[in-house]
Amino acid sequence: VGRVLLASRNFANDATFDIKKCDIHRLEEGPPTTAVLTREEGLKYYKIMQTVRRMELKADQLYKQKIIRGFCHLYDGQEACCMGLEAGINPTDHVITAYRAHGFTYTRGLPVREILAELTGRRGGCAKGKGGSMHMYAKNFYGGNGIVGAQGQIFEAYNMAALWKLPCIFICENNRYGMGTSVERAAASTDYYKRGDFIPGIRVDGMDVLCVREATKFAAAYCRSGKGPMLMELQTYRYHGHSMSDPGVSYRTREEIQEVRSKSDPIMLLKDRMVNNNLASIEELKEIDVEVRKEIEDAAQFATADPEPPLEELGYHIYSRDPPFEVRGANQWIKYKSVS
């Protein structure tokens, strides 16, 4: 007869943490410097961030096996940004992001298998295999987009948002490098949170999920009250290169990457806080890790076995609710049917 040992343990329901004070621009005061984390929230954030991390590592593997092709920008290292932002807004709020989109696609509610299948260009992908890494969409999430912060356009957007007092939060995920150029080499002023000029701004520790959550709640409350837009700079870091074609070590040292990993990894910071404040046990978090790994493995199986979309569907889904029409192909004799 197998014996079962049940070790019951009482965890705390919540804990209060000191978080880094945000730098502020054109504001009397910034977000709070303490945050309450419940056990339930902590476990949820941990699982989501760990899922994004594992999903990106799996995408790296599939890319190296040539199962994922083309552009692929990975999000590992920046998980506290997408998680903290989602935790600070409502599912009914609208989000739009740049090309490093996988993390947001997951926090906005799409399952891993649909994200990985989109990366492999299969029918079961969230954009039916036609969008790939940079163009994924979910409810109230208008996808990854190929261009970010093109200077003239962003200042034009700032100006219009301020003139019309739009409830819009502009977010700069400052991961210290624009492709292979460090911020110090690219910008005479690296205070991106002040770049809105007449728009108030905050600079946030983007490696701390609680910092990001509190700053987002603060910015959202400001916007919802009708005061107009706000700018948020999240100081974060990406472990991978800019994209899969960038090894990421020609313009920065391996030691730098290692130091960030060992001192300010967002998942490790959350884990330490939870364990040290009796919100969770190491064993429990390890169980979550095992669960996450399995989910990622299953999703990867699906993403490699699922069929590619057929050629005749090339012109489908151009419009959402329109009668079918014809799309011209590569020459005028090739026609594709477009169905909504």
Query: What is the full per-residue pLDDT of the chain (340 aa) written as tens digits?
Result: 566 655 667 999 999 999 999 999 999 999 999 999 999 999 999 999 999 999 999 999 999 999 999 999 999 999 999 999 999 999 999 999 999 999 999 999 999 999 999 999 999 999 999 999 999 999 999 989 987 767 889 999 999 999 999 999 999 999 999 999 999 999 999 999 999 999 999 999 999 999 999 999 999 999 999 999 999 999 999 999 999 999 999 999 999 999 999 999 999 999 999 999 999 999 999 999 999 999 999 999 999 999 999 998 999 999 989 999 999 999 989 999 999 9
CB atoms closer than 10 angstroms to residue 227:
12
What is the predicted pLDDT for the residue at 151?
85
Q: Which domains are present in the chain?
A: 14-241+254-309 (3.40.50.970), 315-339 (no CATH)
Which tokens belong to 142?
Answer: 């208008």
Give the pairing type, strands 181-182 and 177-178.
Answer: antiparallel
pLDDT in tens, 166-186: 999 999 999 999 999 999 999
Q: Is the dihedral of CA 301, 109, 20, 10 positive or negative?
A: negative
Element (H, E) at 169: strand 169-174
> Buried b / exposed e across 74-100, counting CB within 10 Å, b at 16+?
bbbbbbbbbbbbbbbbeeebebebbbb
Q: Would you state the pLDDT for residue 9?
A: 79
CB 313 within 8 A of CB 331: no
Of 156, 219, 225, nearest to 193 by C-alpha is 219
d(CA 78, CA 219): 20
Per-residue confidence (pLDDT) for residue 2, from 0 to 100: 63
pTM: 0.95
